[in-house]
Structure 1
Amino acid sequence: MLLLGIDIGTSSIKVSVVDAHTQTCVASARYPEDEENTILSVIPGWAEQSPDMWWEQVKLAIRKLTANDTFDPSDIGAIGIAYQMHGLVVVDKDGNALRNSIIWCDSRAVEIGEAAFEQIGPKHALKHLLNSPGNFTAAKWAWVKANEPELYRKAHQIMLPGDYIALKLTGLATTSISALSEGVFWDFQANCISGDIIRYFGFDEAVFPVIKPLFGEHGTLRTDVASQLGLKPGIPVSYKAGDQPNNALSLNVLEPGEVAATAGTSGVIYAVSDQLVYDPASRVNTFAHVNYTPEERRVGVLLCINGTGILNRWVKDHFGHGIDYKQMNTLGKAVSPGSNGLKILPFGNGAERILHNRILGARFIDLDFNAHGRSHVFRASQEGIAYAFRYGLDIIRENGMNPSVIRAGQANLFLSELFTEMFVDITGVPVELYENDGSVGAALGAGIGSGIFSTPQEAFSQLKTLKTVEPQASTPYEELYQEWKELLDGQLANELKSNEKTN
């Protein structure tokens, strides 16, 4: 049997067909292919994308895939979906999107979420929600209620990006405990939608789709949609998960102590625990993992750095004319550690949770026009990203988790030997690299949800380590990191003083 996986990324849509027997990818397609989707930011700190753009691109990518004569589309038996987390999609009673999605890196609702945290009570909120409402979907929905009241009244349901694509495929709107938890709508103590959130914001609980198991049927492919896509009708959508839980699943990171990482548009470390862990300052966040149940708790503690691959792309766009990423990495590798004194803070993509939801902006520090060229910028940007990972990993360590190894897919920034070596040397943790892809993970997740595999472990039994990168015995990075951290702390202190004067 074949399985179809859809990955709704920030930069593009990726779809793959996987052979369930061999667990290998038969064919894949991406849309757009040669460019990246833009993030709409009409006001600084805002970030939106059109749900209908995602849907059109999903259809284009699947049509491209089914036109491939390497497999028979009629053999596809289940569909899985992975998606960018925390985005708010608002639909009317006919399932039409009423506005652009307010996506994961949008910062407009930070103050709304932080006020809710204080009013609900930090200790109570953290015990029940495991997070501050801070900058998550609940706060974004509250922003719509306060600022777009007419649209709020028209809304029939709210959902996450993956829920919307499943709705378009099947005509059925569903959600899961994992999805509700990433929106900060789930009460982990009461095991239900949070009454505290509903009461505080004055939400109508009827806007939430029906709750289904994450591995399980979320509707079947509509006949009219199937004919558009070159697929047979009735295929079940049997898996939906946010991109980071899905990435962890695809790396077989399911049990306490196991840790996954990604370095795409954003950078993430995702550690699994069997305890309801929370950071007292909500700098790292805890959500229900793909295999979470109230009886057998598995949560993912997520460190997110918004400015990761997006910084690397920005550097390429503005300093790397005429060269590709591989050439950028070669030029950066020719520069010594420390980039001849140039330091970059990579925080230019909205409010950063590890910085208490502050919008610091990216900073180039000690740039010398006579001493630095683009090679230094290439290296310093990747060093800055790796330092940010170390900064966040230390927060995870403060919360009692000390990974002995991190698993990552050999993709995005982990394609860079330069970055991977920096990451390992700066964090002090070995990295195991795997052939890994979000759409392939979603496809295999569909196999679990449809019963083709009896357990998640069975679905990834063929997973093989490509390479293990160990920390070097002696590097200058600890001293360089401490210098970088001192600069970051200084920038944060200056920003705090400036805000106090303004207020």
Structure 2
Amino acid sequence: MLLLGIDIGTSSVKVSVVDSVTQVVIASAQYPEHESPIIALKTGWAEQSPDMWWQQTGQAISLCHKKGGYNPKDIAAIGIAYQMHGLVLVDKDHHVLRNSIIWCDSRAVEIGDKAFEDIGHETCLSHMLNSPGNFTASKLAWVKQNEPKIYDQVDKIMLPGDYIAMKLTGEITTSASAMSEGIFFDFQFNGLSKDIIEYFGFNDGLFPIVKPVFSSHGRVTADVAAALQLNTGIPVTYKAGDQPNNALSLNVLKPGEVAATAGTSGVIYGVSDQLAYDPQSRVNTFAHVNYANERKRLGVLLCINGTGSLYRWVKNTFAANLSYNEVNTLAATAPVGSDGLRILPFGNGAERMLNNKQVGAHIHNIHLNLHTPAHVYRAAQEGIACAFRYGLDIMRENGIDPTVIRAGRSNMFLSDVFTEAFVNATGVPIELYNNDGSIGAAIGAGIGAEIFASAAEAFSNIKAVAYIEPKPADTTAFEEVYQSWKKVLDEHLAQIDAKPVHS
């Protein structure tokens, strides 16, 4: 019996077909080969077309089929992972009304900050576990305020994964996990937040039916099945945001377990059984994939917008003709600390861990007679690792203090330079797995369809491929790098705080 996993990323859509018996990947593919565009009509804005995601999903599935090795008719269930916090709006005929305002868009920060003040810090944090910030609810409020003609046509609002499931099945559902990441969910009442809905003046009818993450979210329609060479009626049995799904793919389901990813954004994600929150909302708490009212499982999430996005810019600017592997090899030729070169990786929108400030990306201490492109490549990776350390220190303040972190051997973790910088900056060992979001979505589909008797069975054949631990001499050396990097960041934050506020 086969499982199909779909991962709707910012850069591309990836799909994998997994054998449910062995948990072995039979085939995988992604589309497009090059990174998808992000539409930025103004500074701080970020949009993508949901129709583009759907077209890319079909292309990726077709490419996967062409690789052979399986019969598409043997696929028994579908799971979906997706970029978090995006806003998709459709009318009563399921037509998209505007581009999706995606996760790294900053236009709604002021709206969210005002809601935080007006509703009250204590109410927001104790009930939603977060400030509204620039999450999905605030983005919907921005549309209501600035595009009223579009807002008046909205029949349903969705997260990106809800939209792809709708295209597959014709049905619109969501989950507590999805609503919590949008800051629409009240954890005290275990339902949609009346405070948010009433404050922004949203209609209750805008929200889809809320179902468990692991459940039937509809069945593939005949037309779609024919186009994708699948059987009519295959159930979509799992939908989750990319970070909860990454945690699932690494079997991070129990309190105290921690996952990380370093793709377009960088994330550390720890599971807790406490309705806890950061008083400044610098790290965020959402319902995990296995959240239930009677068994609280929360994901405490640190997000760094400028991670792979910075490294992509560095590669495209300084090494357009080289592969990432070649760039990583060159980075290893520069010394630890990059001979004093420091890079702040914050050029992809407002950073929540920096109180939603837009610090920007910066390169510091360039010595024209010393620094080479290799120094830039290493300094970028070290700067990202330092940002992870900065965020992990905030998580430690909030009770997440991992003894080991699990991650997929992909994206930035393909670089030995970055991986070693990460463990030596944070002081935490890391376990690497040959896993990714589409594989996790496929496994999730098997759990949701009850093909697996339990989550433990679903991960019975998945083993770590590497274990990297900090070395005392290296952590001492990297502590100096981190303190130097943090001094640069503190100076920029002070400059932002010193700027006059214009009304």
TM-score range, shorter chain: over 0.9
Counterpart of 1:155 in structure 2 is 154
Q: State the Cα distance separating 1:76 from its structure 2 match.
A: 0.5
Counterpart of 2:482 in structure 1 is 481
Q: State the Cα distance separating 1:332 from its structure 2 match.
A: 1.1
Counterpart of 1:173 in structure 2 is 172
Counterpart of 1:496 in structure 2 is 497
Conserved? CA contact 2:254–2:271, under 8 Å: yes
Counterpart of 2:70 in structure 1 is 71
Secondary structure of the 1:44 match is coil
Conserved? CA contact 1:253–1:259, under 8 Å: yes
Q: State the Cα distance separating 1:381 from its structure 2 match.
A: 0.3
Matched, 1:61 2:85: no
* 1:225-244 equivalences in 2 (<5 Å): 225-244=224-243
Q: State the Cα distance separating 1:330 from its structure 2 match.
A: 1.5
Task: Provide the rounded CA distance (Å) in 2 between the counterparts of 1:147 and 1:304.
Answer: 28
Q: State the Cα distance separating 1:213 from its structure 2 match.
A: 1.1
Q: State the Cα distance separating 1:437 from its structure 2 match.
A: 1.1
Secondary structure of the 2:301 match is strand
* 1:26-425 equivalences in 2 (<5 Å): 26-33=26-33, 35-425=34-424
Task: Provide the rounded CA distance (Å) in 1 between the counterparts of 2:404 and 2:500.
Answer: 40
Conserved? CA contact 2:27–2:68, under 8 Å: no
Alpha-carbon displacement from aligned partner over 1:51-103 (angstroms, at most 9, x marks no partner): 00000110111122223331011110000000000000000111111000000
Q: State the Cα distance separating 1:322 from its structure 2 match.
A: 2.2
**More moved, 364-373 vs 408-417:** 364-373
Secondary structure of the 1:224 match is helix
Task: Provide the rounded CA distance (Å) in 2 between the counterparts of 1:163 and 1:87.
Answer: 10
Q: State the Cα distance separating 1:499 from its structure 2 match.
A: 3.7
Counterpart of 2:453 in structure 1 is 454
Task: Provide the rounded CA distance (Å) in 1 between the counterparts of 2:456 and 2:116.
Answer: 37
Task: Provide the rounded CA distance (Å) in 1 between the counterparts of 2:168 and 2:353.
Answer: 36
Q: State the Cα distance separating 1:273 from its structure 2 match.
A: 0.3
* 1:2-41 equivalences in 2 (<5 Å): 2-33=2-33, 35-41=34-40
Conserved? CA contact 1:7–1:82, under 8 Å: yes
Secondary structure of the 2:260 match is strand
Conserved? CA contact 1:13–1:31, under 8 Å: yes
Task: Provide the rounded CA distance (Å) in 2 between the counterparts of 1:231 and 1:499.
Answer: 59
Alpha-carbon displacement from aligned partner over 1:245-271 (angstroms, at most 9, x marks no partner): 000000000001000000000000000
Secondary structure of the 1:378 match is helix
Alpha-carbon displacement from aligned partner over 1:184-209 (angstroms, at most 9, x marks no partner): 00000011100000111000011011
Conserved? CA contact 2:216–2:235, under 8 Å: yes
Secondary structure of the 2:465 match is strand
Matched, 1:427 2:426: yes
Alpha-carbon displacement from aligned partner over 1:340-370 (angstroms, at most 9, x marks no partner): 1111000000000010001111011112222
**More moved, 118-127 vs 453-462:** 453-462
Q: State the Cα distance separating 1:473 from its structure 2 match.
A: 1.3
Percent identity over the alignment is 63
Letter in 2 for 1:479: E
Q: State the Cα distance separating 1:29 from its structure 2 match.
A: 1.1
Letter in 1 for 2:487: E
Task: Provide the rounded CA distance (Å) in 1 between the counterparts of 2:89 and 2:400.
Answer: 37
Conserved? CA contact 2:13–2:32, under 8 Å: yes
Conserved? CA contact 2:6–2:13, under 8 Å: yes
Alpha-carbon displacement from aligned partner over 1:199-258 (angstroms, at most 9, x marks no partner): 110000110111111100000000001001111100000000000000000000000100
Task: Provide the rounded CA distance (Å) in 2 between the counterparts of 1:326 and 1:65.
Answer: 24
Task: Provide the rounded CA distance (Å) in 2 between the counterparts of 1:480 and 1:41.
Answer: 34
Q: Structure 1 length normalisation: TM-score?
A: 0.99
**More moved, 158-167 vs 483-492:** 483-492
Secondary structure of the 2:27 match is strand
Give the 4+ runs in structure 1 shifted more than 3 A: none
Letter in 2 for 1:117: F
**More moved, 410-419 vs 58-67:** 58-67
Conserved? CA contact 1:269–1:304, under 8 Å: yes
Secondary structure of the 1:396 match is helix
Q: State the Cα distance separating 1:490 from its structure 2 match.
A: 1.1
- Unaligned runs of 5+ residues in structure 2 are none
Q: State the Cα distance separating 1:456 from its structure 2 match.
A: 1.7
Letter in 1 for 2:117: E
Task: Provide the rounded CA distance (Å) in 2 between the counterparts of 1:414 and 1:219.
Answer: 35
Secondary structure of the 1:4 match is strand
Task: Provide the rounded CA distance (Å) in 2 between the counterparts of 1:224 and 1:336.
Answer: 57
Task: Provide the rounded CA distance (Å) in 2 between the counterparts of 1:417 and 1:94.
Answer: 49
Task: Provide the rounded CA distance (Å) in 2 between the counterparts of 1:462 and 1:118.
Answer: 49
Q: State the Cα distance separating 1:458 from its structure 2 match.
A: 1.5
Conserved? CA contact 1:179–1:241, under 8 Å: yes
Task: Provide the rounded CA distance (Å) in 2 between the counterparts of 1:322 and 1:387.
Answer: 28
Secondary structure of the 2:499 match is helix
Conserved? CA contact 1:12–1:30, under 8 Å: yes
Secondary structure of the 1:474 match is helix
- Unaligned runs of 5+ residues in structure 1 are none
Q: State the Cα distance separating 1:483 from its structure 2 match.
A: 1.4
Conserved? CA contact 1:66–1:229, under 8 Å: no
Conserved? CA contact 1:257–1:401, under 8 Å: yes
Secondary structure of the 1:82 match is strand
